[in-house]
């Protein structure tokens, strides 16, 4: 059927599909008696274990964006892109210790509910609609497009639309069972994606070793990567100088060295992991200790992700530079698929299953969050206030179908141009337009009791406006060199500010305006959240998990600084 996949590969993939489907159906049958319980459907309230929460967080997070997009950035940037994963582990510690207690103490189940409880209904409605559009037209579409393109390349290049529909249908099958089915099937998905990803990385290293005459020695392959591409093993990308090449400037624009750590990367991670329905939903139905342990488990797993999704990209770069990767198609985003072609029969099927697991888990988690926000924060509040639990579950399922249908329609011929800018950058940049305002609104709302609803509305709008200003217009309006930023000429000859710096500037000025506005209000906003003594205290076993994670991160940065 295909020049790339043999019968054994299809057999491995079919086994994976059947295992996930049968397990998901078993979980669904166990909760049939609660089939029309809205909280059970949307939140799996009280039924998720810490390992299910942690695995589901990772499975929903790791998708084509990472396998294809981050591997592509590994090809282009090198290990610097691993900062997204390793800083995420620290962000998850912050979320587990300080964010989750606030959510659980105040019985928050959705992010719009947080905004309504803390601020006002207008803020909640604006953000509910905005999140729905973002999840459908940025996240769902990019995951579906990148995943279909990658698998299509391995299946012979003639089945793009069939694969696209197949991925959408597979995700629908899982997501229609509700959060409990999504979360527990994610345990299998994350096991498959980690095993399959590690296999791919191991084979990639042995291919590099063979290419330079060292036999099938993975360790020799890794040492060769460091020898042949030393610039790809530096965490901090240097600021361009007058003699820098365009390639070096483009790298800095994508990840601006130390400035990333002072600005954008923290906003990206804390907003994503702490203020995002798609992610926090897994922990909002659990008790505090279970939620914390699950989130920290996810943080520990994040330490492994660069090995799985970035290392094959660096291997592809070294092979390509040496003339041993003629099958690389489509620039940096083709790196991962090109490396999969080296896998032997059977293992290639396992790696395709890993890639599919990552894509399907993310799609299922995303549409479940879309249906939760639409049903609980829009439909029940503004369209059918007296909707029964049974009706809410049915509306949630209709929302799942509608969201996936829209994603397929806009992905069919890449209407949004995802393939043109690179998948990973597409998602990071365009979600980054709203991250500064949203994060400022959430963090001030949680931890500063004076923040007002008016400041929140102005903050989220101003954050977006400032992001557009700094990303698109600031160099032309204010010049290329100011006290706040330096703009560099990109590959198209247009001056551009690194988008991490744009996010930092947007967040700073948004926060400043929100604080100034809130000082005009009462010292304690009547809708401020209450805190209790010991609310943020952690148990000894939690402290041990945190310390281990931080020590590993410190060791990694010492090694690759």
Lowest pLDDT segment from 16-25, 178-187, 532-541: 178-187
Closest to 59 (Cα-Cα) out of 167, 154, 187, 176 = 187
Higher pLDDT among residues 23 and 103, named by residue: 103
Higher pLDDT among residues 15 and 37, named by residue: 15
Domain count, the chain: 1
Residue 138 lies in a domain: yes
Helix 179-211 / helix 311-321 crossing angle, nearest 10 deg: 30
Q: What is the pLDDT of residues 335-357, one digit of tens each?
A: 887 888 888 887 878 877 877 87
Mean pLDDT along residues 482-492: 92
Residue 278 lies in a domain: no
Query: Which CATH number fits the domain that encloses residue 323?
Result: 1.20.1730.10
Residue 233: its pLDDT value, please? 93
Identify each DSSP E strand in 4-128 by its residue range: none
245 contact partners, CB below 8 Å, separation of at least 6:
none
Residue 99 lies in a domain: no
d(C-alpha 468, C-alpha 108), whole Å: 31
**Looking at residue 496, what DSSP letter applies?**
E
Residue 94: its pLDDT value, please? 95
Q: What is the pLDDT of residues 545-556, one digit of tens each?
A: 999 999 999 999
Residue 216 lies in a domain: yes
Task: Please say whether the beta carbons of 104 and 349 come within 8 A.
Answer: no
d(C-alpha 447, C-alpha 487), whole Å: 34
Task: Please say whether the beta carbons of 490 and 249 come within 8 A.
Answer: yes
Q: How confident is the model at residue 509 (pLDDT cuts 50, 70, 90)?
A: very high
d(C-alpha 112, C-alpha 369), whole Å: 12
d(C-alpha 62, C-alpha 198), whole Å: 14
455 contact partners, CB below 8 Å, separation of at least 6:
444, 513, 514, 515, 517, 518, 521
Residue 113 lies in a domain: no
Task: Please say whether the beta carbons of 288 and 104 come within 8 A.
Answer: yes
Q: Is 46 helix (H, G, I), strand (E, B) or coil?
A: coil
d(C-alpha 186, C-alpha 286), whole Å: 17
Has residue 232 got a pLDDT over 60? Answer: yes
Mean pLDDT along residues 52-78: 81
Residue 135: its pLDDT value, please? 85
Higher pLDDT among residues 368 and 494, named by residue: 494
Q: What is the pLDDT of residues 179-201, one digit of tens each?
A: 677 767 777 777 887 888 888 89
Closest to 343 (Cα-Cα) out of 4, 36, 1 = 4
**What is 311-322 written as a DSSP string?**
HHHHHHHHHHHT
d(C-alpha 18, C-alpha 131), whole Å: 33
Q: What is the pLDDT of residues 126-158, one digit of tens each?
A: 888 888 888 888 888 888 887 887 777 777 667
Q: What is the pLDDT of residues 155-170, one digit of tens each?
A: 766 778 888 898 888 8
The CA angle 375-294-427, to the nearest 5 degrees, is 60
Residue 151: its pLDDT value, please? 79
Q: How confident is the model at residue 1 (pLDDT cuts 50, 70, 90)?
A: very low
Higher pLDDT among residues 428 and 342, named by residue: 342
Residue 487 lies in a domain: no
d(C-alpha 104, C-alpha 27), whole Å: 25
Lowest pLDDT segment from 10-24, 43-57, 304-318, 386-400: 43-57
240 contact partners, CB below 8 Å, separation of at least 6:
248, 249, 252, 488
Lowest pLDDT segment from 27-41, 270-284, 396-410, 445-459: 27-41
Residue 79: its pLDDT value, please? 92
Task: Please say whether the beta carbons of 111 and 349 come within 8 A.
Answer: no
Has residue 3 got a pLDDT over 70? Answer: no
d(C-alpha 38, C-alpha 45), whole Å: 10
d(C-alpha 465, C-alpha 506), whole Å: 9
Residue 390 lies in a domain: yes
Residue 45: its pLDDT value, please? 58
**Could you give the percent of the chain with pLDDT greater than 70?**
91
Has residue 15 got a pLDDT over 80? Answer: yes
Has residue 2 got a pLDDT over 50? Answer: no
Mean pLDDT along residues 505-513: 96
Q: What is the pLDDT of residues 84-108, one digit of tens each?
A: 899 999 999 999 999 999 998 888 8
Residue 498: its pLDDT value, please? 93
Q: How confident is the model at residue 33 (pLDDT cuts 50, 70, 90)?
A: low
d(C-alpha 95, C-alpha 101), whole Å: 9
Backbone angles phi, psi at 539, to 5 degrees: -80, 160
Determine the length of the chain: 561
pTM of the predicted structure, to 2 decimals:
0.86
Q: How confident is the model at residue 36 (pLDDT cuts 50, 70, 90)?
A: low
**What is 432-495 written as a DSSP string?**
TTTHHHHHHHHHHHHH-TT--HHHHHHHHHHHHHHHHIIIIIHHHHH-SB-SS-B-EE-TTS-E
Q: What mean pLDDT is reported for the chain? A: 85
H/E element holding 143? Answer: helix 141-154
**How far, CA to CA in Å, does 47 sit from each of 149, 245, 271, 276, 361?**
36, 55, 26, 21, 19
Q: Which residues form the domain of 310?
A: 7-56+66-81+122-250+300-424
Residue 134 lies in a domain: yes
Mean pLDDT along residues 460-488: 93
Mean pLDDT along residues 535-551: 93
**Could you give the percent of the chain with pLDDT greater than 90?**
36
d(C-alpha 142, C-alpha 64), whole Å: 8
Has residue 260 got a pLDDT over 60? Answer: yes
**Looking at residue 93, what DSSP letter applies?**
H
């Amino acid at each position: 059927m295909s020049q790339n996949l043999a019968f054994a590969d299809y057999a491995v993939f079919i086994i994976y599909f059947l295992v996930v489907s049968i397990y998901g159906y078993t979980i669904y049958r166990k909760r049939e008696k609660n089939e029309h319980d809205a909280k059970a459907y949307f939140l799996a309230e009280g039924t998720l274990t810490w390992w299910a929460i942690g695995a589901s967080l990772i499975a929903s997070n790791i998708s084509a964006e990472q396998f294809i997009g981050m591997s592509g950035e590994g090809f282009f940037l090198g290990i610097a892109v691993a900062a997204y994963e390793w800083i995420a582990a620290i962000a998850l510690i912050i979320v587990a210790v300080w964010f989750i207690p606030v959510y659980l103490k105040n019985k928050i189940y959705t992010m719009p509910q947080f905004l309504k409880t803390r601020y006002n209904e207008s803020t909640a409605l604006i953000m509910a609609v905005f999140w729905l559009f973002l999840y459908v037209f940025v996240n769902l579409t990019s995951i579906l497009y990148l995943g279909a393109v990658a698998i299509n390349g391995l299946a012979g290049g003639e089945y793009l639309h069939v694969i696209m529909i197949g991925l959408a249908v597979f995700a629908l099958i899982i997501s229609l069972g509700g959060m409990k089915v999504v979360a527990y099937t994610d345990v299998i998905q994350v096991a498959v994606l980690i095993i399959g990803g590690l296999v791919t990385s191991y084979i990639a290293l042995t291919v590099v070793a063979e290419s330079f005459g060292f036999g099938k020695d993975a360790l020799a392959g890794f040492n060769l990567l460091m020898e042949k591409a030393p610039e790809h093993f530096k965490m901090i990308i240097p600021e361009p100088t007058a003699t820098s090449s365009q390639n070096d400037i483009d790298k800095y624009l994508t990840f601006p060295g130390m400035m990333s750590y002072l600005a954008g990367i923290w906003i990206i991670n804390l907003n994503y992991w702490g203020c995002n329905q798609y992610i926090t939903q897994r922990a909002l139905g659990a008790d505090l200790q279970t939620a914390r342990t699950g989130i920290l488990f996810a943080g520990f797993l994040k330490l492994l992700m660069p090995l799985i999704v970035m290392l094959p990209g660096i291997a592809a770069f070294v092979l390509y530079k040496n003339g041993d990767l003629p099958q690389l198609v489509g620039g940096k985003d083709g790196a991962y698929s090109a490396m999969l072609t080296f896998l032997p029969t059977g293992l290639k099927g396992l790696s395709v299953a890993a890639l599919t697991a990552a894509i399907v888990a993310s799609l299922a988690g995303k549409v479940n969050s879309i249906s939760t926000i639409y049903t609980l924060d829009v439909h029940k509040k503004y369209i059918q206030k007296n909707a029964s639990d049974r009706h809410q579950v049915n509306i949630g399922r209709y929302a799942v179908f509608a969201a996936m249908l829209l994603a397929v329609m806009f992905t069919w011929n890449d209407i949004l141009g995802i393939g043109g800018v690179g998948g990973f950058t597409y998602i990071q940049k365009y979600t980054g337009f709203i991250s500064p305002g949203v994060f400022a609104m959430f963090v001030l709302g949680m931890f500063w009791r004076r923040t007002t609803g008016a400041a929140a509305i102005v903050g989220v709008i101003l954050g977006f406006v400032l992001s557009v200003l700094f990303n698109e217009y600031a160099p032309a309006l204010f010049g290329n060199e100011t006290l706040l930023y330096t703009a560099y000429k990109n590959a198209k000859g247009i001056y551009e500010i690194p988008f991490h710096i744009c996010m930092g500037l947007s967040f700073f000025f948004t926060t400043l305006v929100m604080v100034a506005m809130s000082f005009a209000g009462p010292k304690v906003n009547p809708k401020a959240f209450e805190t209790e003594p010991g609310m943020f205290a952690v148990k000894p076993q939690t402290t041990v998990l945190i310390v281990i994670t931080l020590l590993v991160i410190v060791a990694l940065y010492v090694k690759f600084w």
